Amino acid sequence: MTAMRVGPFELETLRIGNGRTVLLIHGINPIHPDSPFLLKLAADAEVIAPSHPGFGGSPLPADFDTMYDLVNLYLAVLDSLPSDDVTVIGFSFGGWIAAELAVANPKHLGRLILVDPVGIKLGGREDRDIVHFFNTDPGELDQRSWHDPARRPPGIHGLGWQATISEKMTDQEMILLARNWDTLCLYAWRPHMFNPQLKHWLHRISVPTKVIWGESDRIVTPDYGRAYAGLIPGAEFTIIKHAGHHPELEQPEAFVSAVTSFPDPRR
């Protein structure tokens, strides 16, 4: 891990590989250095994966607690990178951040890849589009997140607490996991995991976009994903079989193949 300074902010950052720039925007937990997809993705790319403020080892500044803050921070991150053609990959909660970035149309964003993102409300007031992250039993979250919970890598990955407790995490890992969830509450408790306005502005996304979804995701279903992709002009939608909310972890080869096979039609 290294430190990335962006204006007054310091971000714990994972960097690996060389080549075209790929910025990973993580979900509930920062990208784990042992994530099975990471080395494959970094085979021909420089992968940069910061931890959001308040997650992992990144400090949480005072009064930094909204999606507005996160989006503007990542706009600054993009401005700080030397490339004018960054591939941005957002996972789950990070997919929401990535979609907001693309709506803002930053000049350095070359391609957008959303992996089982949250961030929009599609159903009516009483419809539950997104399983409640904070009010759902941890064991149920775990089951809903994975096609096969046995494929969950050891360490801090994905949603839920059930599997991580059984893996006898260290005290420090448990502290980090609790910190991530506490900070998530600041950004996304209400409205729960969505911006009521975002769906009206997805049509502004003008960069090549691919939406990747785990076929067995029961946190946000593939139907939600298809509708999400349908709101983005020209977006491709790809299903990964035998994967839930974290296809990059359950099916790393298929995930990396879906990413690397996505050409930039502007070239």
Q: Give the 3-state DSSP-derived string for the chain, with helices as H, strands as E and coil as C.
A: CEEEEECCEEEEEEEECCCEEEEEECCCCCCCCCCCCHHHHCCCEEEEEECCCCCCCCCCCCCCCCHHHHHHHHHHHHHHCCCCCEEEEEECHHHHHHHHHHHHCCCCEEEEEEECCCECCCCCCCCCCCCCCCCCCHHHHHHHHCCCHHHCCCCCCCCCCHHHHHCCCCHHHHHHHHHHHHHHHHHHCCCCCECCCHHHHHHHCCCCEEEEEECCCCCCCHHHHHHHHHCCCCCEEEEECCCCCCHHHHCHHHHHHHHHCCCCCCC
- Residue 24 falls inside a structural domain: yes
More confident site: 73 or 151: 73
pLDDT value for 168: 67
End-to-end CA distance of the chain: 33
In a domain, 265, yes or no: no
Determine the residue type at 179. Answer: R
219 CB contacts (<8 Å, ≥6 apart)? 92, 116, 130, 131, 141, 144, 145, 159, 244, 245
Number of domains in the chain: 1
In a domain, 267, yes or no: no
Quote the pTM value.
0.96
All residues at 6 or more sequence positions from 86 whose CB lies less than 8 Å from its CB, including other chains: 21, 22, 23, 78, 108, 109, 110
Q: Which domain holds residue 194?
A: 2-260
> Which CATH number covers residue 183?
3.40.50.1820
Q: How far apart are the C-alpha atoms of 33 and 39, rounded to whole Å? A: 9
Residue 51: pLDDT over 70:
yes
Q: Which of 62, 2, 51 has its CA nearest to residue 24?
A: 51
pLDDT tens for each residue of 25-44 = 999 999 999 998 999 999 99
- Are the CB atoms for 105 and 136 separated by under 8 Å? no
Per the listing, tokens 């962006």 go with: 6
Q: Kindly state whether residue 182 falls inside one of the protein's structural domains.
A: yes
Q: What is the pLDDT of residues 166-175, one digit of tens each?
A: 556 788 888 8
Does a cis peptide bond (omega within 30 degrees of 0) precede residue 191? yes
Task: Report yes or no on 184 lying in a domain.
Answer: yes
The answer to the question of residue 236 being in a domain is yes
Q: Which tokens belong to 199?
A: 């769906």
Asked if residue 266 belongs to a domain, the reply is no
Region 166-191 average pLDDT: 87
Percentage of the chain exceeding pLDDT 90: 80
Cα(64)–Cα(70) distance, integer angstroms: 8
The verdict on residue 202 lying in a domain is yes
Q: What confidence tens digit (pLDDT) does each residue in 214-255 have?
A: 999 999 999 999 999 999 999 999 999 999 999 999 999 999
| pLDDT for 160 | 62
